[in-house]
Structure 1
Amino acid sequence: MKRRDILKGVGMAAAAAGLAACSQSGQNTGAAVADEGPRQWKMVTSWPTNFPGLGTGAARLAERITQATGGRITVKVFGSGELVPPFEVFDAVSRGTAEIGHSAAYYWKGKAPAAPFFCAVPFGLNAQEMTSWLRVGGGLELWRELYAPFNLVPFPAGNTGVQLAGWFRKPINGIGDLQGLKMRIPGLGGDVLQAVGGVPVNLPGAEIFSSLQSGAIDAAEWVGPYNDLAFGLHRVAKYAYYPGWQEPGPTLEAIFNKTAFDSLPHDLKAIVDACCAAVNDEMLAEYTARNQQALDSLVREHGTQLRRLPDDVLGALKRAADDVLDNLANSDPFARRAWNSIRAFRAQAQAWHSVSEEAYYQARR
Structure 2
Amino acid sequence: MNKILTGTSAALLSVAFVADAAATEWNASVWGKRRAFTEHVEKLAELVAEKTGGEFTINVSYGGLSKPRENLDGISIGAFEMAQFCAGYHRDKNRAITVLELPFLGVSNLDEEVAVSHAVYDHPAVMEEMAQWNARIIMTSPMPQYNIVGTGEPRDELADFDGMRVRATGGLGQAFEAVGGVPTSVPATEAFNAMESGVVDTVAFAQHAHLSFGTINKADWWTANLNPGTVNCPVVVNIDAYEALPAEHREALDSSIDEAIDHYLANYGELLKKWDGVLEEKGVQKVMIDDAVIEEFRAKAADPIREAWIADMSAQGIPAQDLYDLVMETLKTAKAGN
Q: Which category of TM-score, normalised to the shorter sequence, fits these structures?
A: 0.7 to 0.9
Contact 1:157 1:276 in 2 (8 A): no
- 2-structure distance, mates of 1:244, 1:176: 14
Aligned ranges for residues 1-365 of structure 1 at < 5 Å?
Answer: 37-45=22-30, 47-50=31-34, 52-80=35-63, 82-118=64-100, 120-124=101-105, 125=107, 126-135=109-118, 137=119, 139-142=121-124, 143-160=126-143, 162-169=144-151, 170-224=153-207, 226-243=208-225, 245-247=227-229, 252-299=233-280, 301-319=281-299, 320-333=301-314, 334=318, 335-350=320-335, 352=336, 357=338
TM-score, structure 2 normalization: 0.83
How far apart, in 2, do the equivalents of 1:337 and 1:149 lie?
21
Deviates more, 1:120-129 or 1:180-189: 120-129
The one-letter code sitting in structure 2 at the alignment partner of 1:131 is: V
C-alpha contact (below 8 Å) 2:226/2:294 kept by paired residues: no
1:163-197 deviations in Å (ceiling 9; x for gaps): 34111224123211111111111121111111221
* Residues 323-359 of structure 1: CA deviation (Å, up to 9, x unaligned): 1122111111323331121123334445x26xxx5xx
Alpha-carbon distance in 1 for matches of 2:173, 2:282: 28
Unaligned stretches of 5+ residues in structure 2: 1-19
Question: Once the 2 structures are TM-superposed, how far is the Cα of residue 93 of structure 1 from its aligned partner?
Answer: 0.7
Aligned to 1:19: none
Question: In terms of mean alpha carbon deviation, does 278-287 or 105-114 score higher?
Answer: 105-114
Superposed CA RMSD in Å reads 2.4
1:156·1:251 contact (CA, 8 Å) conserved in 2? Answer: no
Write the deviation string for residues 252-311 of structure 1: whole angstroms up to 9, x where unpaired: 422011111122244433321222222222112111112231321322x22211012232
Asked if the contact 2:166–2:201 (Cα under 8 Å) also holds between the matched residues in 1, the reply is: yes
* Cα distance in 2 between the residues matched to 1:157 and 1:275: 14
Q: Is the 8 A contact 1:129 1:349 kept in 2?
A: yes
Q: Point out where structure 1 has 5 or more consecutive residues left out of the alignment.
A: 1-34, 358-365
Equivalents in 2 of 1:157, 1:69: separation in Å?
24
Is the Cα contact below 8 Å between 2:87 and 2:94 reproduced in 1? no
CA distance in 1 between counterparts of 2:243 and 2:160 reads: 51
Query: Is the 1:188–1:246 Cα contact (8 Å) retained in structure 2?
Result: no
- The verdict on how the C-alpha distance between 1:133 and 1:266 changes in structure 2, with shifts beyond 3 A counting, is farther
* Percent of residue pairs identical: 23
CA distance 1:253–1:65, shift in 2 (3 Å): farther
SS for the counterpart of 2:263 is helix
Question: Relative to structure 2, which stretch is displaced further, 305-314 or 62-71?
Answer: 62-71
